[in-house]
Structure 1
Amino acid sequence: MEKLPVRHPVAEVQQLPVTLPQMLPKVQSADSKISRLNLDRQTTRQTAVKEAFERCWRSYQSLAWGADELAPLGSSPKNKLGWGATLIDNLDTLWIMGMHDEFKKAVAAVTHIKFEDTQSPEINTYEVNIQLLGGLLAAFDLSTDGKLLGKAVELGDMLYAAFDTPNRMPIIHWNAHKAVRREEQLAEESVLGAELGSFTLEFTRLSQITGDPKYFDAAQRVMELFDKKQDTTELPGLWPVSVNAREGAFDDNVFTLGAEASSLHKSLPGAYALLGGKLPMYRRMYENATLTAAGHNLFRPMNSEGKDVPISGAVRVVTADNGNQQIHLEPQMQYQSCFAGEIAHKLVDGCIWAHRVIPLGIMPESFDVVPCASLKSCPWSEWHWKQEVWKNANRLEPEPNPNLNVDTFIRDHRLPKGFTGIPDTAYNLRPEAIESILTLYRVSGREDLLDAAWDMFQAMQSATQTKNGNAAIGDVTDDGSEVTLKDSMDSMWMSQTLKYFYLMFSPPDLISLDEFVFNAGGHPLRRPNE
């Protein structure tokens, strides 16, 4: 892309911190090496995951090479930007799995991508950053191939142009064509806070590699605003789902760890580690957010097995007429909040439980449950569960149906005991559950997680495998003999989900969490030694 004029130059670029790095504690547990004791079994599992990846890669290579994605049912290419997203997204996976010939072919193709040529004028800078810039940086960190660094700088400069706004907040939905025509664009008045606050890892790493501090400076300005606002929101300690980037206002009243916020919370400990502990603000922000979430967003779902498996819901803060605040928990679990398993063992166990209670063995994108009154004690009550199912079924109706047969409703909607509704029955090949299982295994060495991960992989592979790759599921509550599939194989299936499964069954020194941090797109960025 031709060099664009700078409308709002930075008076002084903030340099990367140069104080001595902190002696950060080891992340990985020595106990995670327990997998070496049953190496044969783990090697067999690792091979099965690699074979699943190779099948998908061969299908992409033969049917959609150079396209953003493969439509597995239609056996055809799909494009949004036309930048070969699946190619870039999987460079590091190819390297990690030892597929070096395929890696070289992919690198050769990636070097010919022209980012100035896009099939869609509007670019989601957040998605491009975590998926594509992250992919290029991770592949460079692993291979040291200078061609990849050149493409990373090229893409980083394009994204950097989206920060050229009066308050230096990035434009998330940035129009490249307008930029070329020299039309000014402003940061949006309503964007997801996670979109705004998830540039830190990639921009910091790009500055570390190139020595050019401008990228770090751009992302750091955004995060300093998040730091400043953290204790002034409607729920101090957490940032709302939606923020006004143009005004720098954080006034929304909904707070979650789910789909709309997960990447922001993931990036905070990663940034602390990537910067060698030199910026304590990232640790402080993460700890404060975690404490607030633990006090308000976490709840225990009532279940017939009596399992103590807290999960994460959304919180809505409402100000009453008398000025008092009321905090309402919305007991809905989202698949993407499984990343919060990094908070505690029981949260990971909650995600594993949510997979196992669905006959297909796969958790839906979102589901509603009965929240327990206490985290400590929660006896099962069939009557209470059915009362809550009746309420949930009538919640959106203008007039409640007094004749609703709850047992019929439960049967027709295939609700497991404790579930009151499943607003989104799909499974879109997401990685968050296995990501959290892998993280907890590497941190704790809990051997039972190996079998839990294997059960999950087998369930996913069995339900989603098609002739050409794997397809998202439309309804995970379907009878296992006939599963409704969608003609979609998002590149995250290979670049994240299968990568995490592969690492789960690999020796723990492969992409050690003491040497790398994962960005929100599942790409490992190397932590500097100095």
Structure 2
Amino acid sequence: MALIKRYGVYLAIAAFFIYTLYSLSFPYQPEGNPIQNDNKDNHKNGNKDKESSKSPPASKSYNWAKVPINYPVESMVTLPTGAPAPLPKIQHAFKENEDATAKNIRETRREEVKKAFEICWKNYRQKAWMRDELSPISGGSVDTFGGWAATLIDALDTLWIMGFREEFASAIKDVESINFGSTPMAMINVFETNIRHLGGLLAAYELSGEQRLLKKAKEVGEMLYRAFDTPNHMPKTRWDFQKAGAGEKQTADQAALVAEIGSLSMEFTRLSQHTNDPKWYDAITRVTKVLEKEQDKTKLPGMWPIVVNADKSDFTLDNSFSLGAMADSTYEYLSKTYALLGGLEPSYKKMYEKSMATAIKHTLFRPMTPDNADMLMAGFVRVDDSVPTLAPRMEHLVCFAGGMLALGGKIFEIPEHVTIGRKLTDTCVWAYKASPAGIMPEVSHLLACANTTGCAWDEKVWKDSVAAKADLGTDKDPLQNIANLRLPEGFTSIEDRRYILRPEAIESVFVMYRITGEQQWQAAAWDMFTAIQQHTATDLGNAALLDVSAENPPKQDSMESFWMGETLKYFYLIFSEPNVISLDDYVFNTEAHPFKIPKPKA
């Protein structure tokens, strides 16, 4: 009620703020408010608006390049000029002569990953071609992202990287037939379309040089550009496709997820670089300037809250902060966009350093674990009366942060960030190993040490914490009920026991391997892959799991496009030769689509 009293003008959205904060701090609600569909929302939270397996109905078609602009930009911000600055070396200096035994093991594992992808691709092509997703148990198909063949476009660059060149070439003619001017869906998620469709097309174009893919990428870009046609040029994140196509005026959202407005910079920058048209870079730079302006004004200066008012360009109201769901890729894109711009736009470096300083100070905690390992995890912070309170929440989504900090530490030459990235990734590897199925759950809470320097494992403290969190009451021996909660030691609760084929943990394991050259990361990756394959494989592909705390987790008839676009790609690359998509040459968008880093001329 305090929010309603203090901010009377925001009565209409106060309930949403309260709901969002509640859902982040307490047991996970997989079918929450539709705005919670995030990014890595549909992507992040696993909520999807699905159409039936029948072919989608026809709808009116728009040529987005010709749809009139209601709020034209008077003066474009152009791409920075000048020779790209050389970045520090990122990848480990791998030996040219690989040990024969190690090479055989690596290549055998790489081929196993490739076989898993091939099964998924073959059945997607046979049973769900041109639809967004294959249903890997029933063999049906669903549309979740506009009906624009999300799995096809997400997997294009994976096809190329894995060497399926004939399949890649065959798919291009069908990609050409996709009509981004029409959709059976009422609302379009701008973020998801950006990272999957625009990102996927741009990366496939860069790898192959196929001009038809750049043409399709521009079509997606023309569509997404209309989401920025608002009075203040901030994007409309959940977008009424038909109204926009009809030329109706729109305003930016008064309650938007920061990840959905802050995670467009890589793709829009890249599209402008490839087309020599500055309008996409201009559009995203206007968002970047607001992020920069608001960064020190929030309730946790340095970080941006999960919910922001895009319509007023006001990021000061919400008091919830996280590197996880609904915020994540805003932070991820800072160092990566800096690299894409050849180091010529210093604001991204400043925002990265400032945000990570705050995140390290306020969001990180050390879990208490039976082996007393020196690990870290990024939790959820709420700020009340200027006092930040950290909840030791762990999300599979936040496992990307280890790779983000390690990569940022190399790009900006901050060794401490590489060390922190290692400790964050260690926790995610531990969480996989601790699970009965060998796969970490979607959302859980851990027992936090009093500080990040460490604490000794205390089983009684852990059990007392579990009992208190589960509200086991004052029975004669409430601890006897702990076994019924199915919690690995160190976990105090598991709010969401699913695994939806997410890539974030293997993403960071891959980055750590490429940065350090340590084979322990390949070993961890193989353990993860074998556990995932054992429990998720079906005759047609791989299925999401409903409960990884069970030794034989029940399956869900869902295989999101990021399984082939991200998860299997990272598993494949960690067992590939290090020069395949080298981190010295490419940065990945949040959907694992690689973009080439511009280099200074020799």
Calculate the TM-score normalised by the size of structure 1: 0.96
**1:108-123 pair list within 5 angstroms:** 108-123=173-188
1:62 aligns with 2:123: no
CA distance in 1, matches of 2:106, 2:94: 16
CA distance in 1, matches of 2:485, 2:454: 28
1:5 aligns with 2:68: yes
Distance 1:441 1:406, change over 3 A: farther
Instruction: Quote the residue 2:395 is aligned against.
Output: 334
CA distance in 2, matches of 1:141, 1:266: 21
Aligned 8 A contact 2:467 2:479 in 1: no
1:512 aligns with 2:582: yes
Instruction: Quote the residue 2:361 is aligned against.
Output: 295
- Given candidates 272, 277, 280, the residue that maps to 1:207 is 272
1:158 aligns with 2:235: no
Root mean square deviation, CA, Å: 1.4
- Given candidates 414, 421, 440, the residue that maps to 1:363 is 440
- Given candidates 18, 22, 25, the residue that maps to 2:85 is 22
CA distance in 1, matches of 2:332, 2:449: 27
**Deviation of residue 36 (structure 1)?**
6.1
Aligned 8 A contact 1:35 1:507 in 2: no
Secondary structure of 2:445's partner? strand
Aligned 8 A contact 1:386 1:406 in 2: no
**Deviation of residue 182 (structure 1)?**
2.1
Identity %: 47
Single out whichever of 16-25 and 328-337 deviates more from structure 2: 16-25
- Given candidates 351, 355, 361, the residue that maps to 2:428 is 351
**Deviation of residue 169 (structure 1)?**
0.3
Aligned 8 A contact 1:32 1:446 in 2: no
Secondary structure of 1:315's partner? strand
- 1:337 corresponds to which letter in structure 2? V
Secondary structure of 1:87's partner? helix
Instruction: Quote the residue 1:383 is aligned against.
Output: 460
Instruction: Quote the residue 2:27 is aligned against.
Output: none
**Deviation of residue 180 (structure 1)?**
2.2
CA distance in 1, matches of 2:148, 2:377: 37
Distance 1:25 1:390, change over 3 A: same
**Deviation of residue 496 (structure 1)?**
0.2
**Deviation of residue 35 (structure 1)?**
6.0
**Deviation of residue 380 (structure 1)?**
1.2
Instruction: Quote the residue 1:318 is aligned against.
Output: 384
Instruction: Quote the residue 2:169 is aligned against.
Output: 104
Instruction: Quote the residue 1:456 is aligned against.
Output: 528
State how many pairs are aligned.
518
Aligned 8 A contact 2:258 2:307 in 1: yes
Aligned 8 A contact 2:366 2:375 in 1: yes
Secondary structure of 1:422's partner? strand
Aligned 8 A contact 1:393 1:421 in 2: yes
- Given candidates 242, 252, 267, the residue that maps to 2:307 is 242
Instruction: Quote the residue 1:257 is aligned against.
Output: 323
CA distance in 1, matches of 2:397, 2:454: 27
**Deviation of residue 405 (structure 1)?**
5.1
**1:366-515 pair list within 5 angstroms:** 366-394=443-471, 401-403=473-475, 406-479=478-551, 482-515=552-585
**Deviation of residue 131 (structure 1)?**
0.8
CA distance in 2, matches of 1:238, 1:96: 36
CA distance in 2, matches of 1:103, 1:336: 30
CA distance in 2, matches of 1:213, 1:32: 42
**Deviation of residue 23 (structure 1)?**
1.9
CA distance in 2, matches of 1:139, 1:31: 27
CA distance in 1, matches of 2:262, 2:431: 29
Secondary structure of 1:30's partner? coil
CA distance in 1, matches of 2:166, 2:203: 18
Calculate the TM-score normalised by the size of structure 2: 0.84
Instruction: Quote the residue 1:397 is aligned against.
Output: none
Runs of 5+ consecutive residues of structure 1 not aligned to the other structure: 320-324, 395-399
Secondary structure of 1:90's partner? helix
1:271 aligns with 2:343: no
- Given candidates 165, 172, 187, the residue that maps to 2:252 is 187
- 2:84 corresponds to which letter in structure 1? P
CA distance in 2, matches of 1:463, 1:485: 8
- 1:333 corresponds to which letter in structure 2? M
**Deviation of residue 327 (structure 1)?**
1.1
- 1:191 corresponds to which letter in structure 2? A
**Deviation of residue 231 (structure 1)?**
1.3
- 2:226 corresponds to which letter in structure 1? A
CA distance in 2, matches of 1:452, 1:470: 20
Instruction: Quote the residue 2:47 is aligned against.
Output: none
- 2:377 corresponds to which letter in structure 1? I
Runs of 5+ consecutive residues of structure 2 not aligned to the other structure: 1-61, 406-420
CA distance in 2, matches of 1:25, 1:520: 22
CA distance in 1, matches of 2:573, 2:358: 31
- 1:83 corresponds to which letter in structure 2? W
- Given candidates 326, 337, 351, the residue that maps to 1:285 is 351
**Deviation of residue 82 (structure 1)?**
1.2
Aligned 8 A contact 2:109 2:575 in 1: yes
Query: What do residues 315-356 of structure 1 show as CA deviations (whole Å, max 9, x unaligned)?
Result: 10001xxxxx22110111000111111322111111101111
CA distance in 2, matches of 1:108, 1:90: 15
1:47 aligns with 2:111: yes
Instruction: Quote the residue 1:130 is aligned against.
Output: 195
CA distance in 2, matches of 1:245, 1:139: 32
Instruction: Quote the residue 2:296 is aligned against.
Output: 231
Aligned 8 A contact 1:138 1:524 in 2: yes
**Deviation of residue 499 (structure 1)?**
0.2
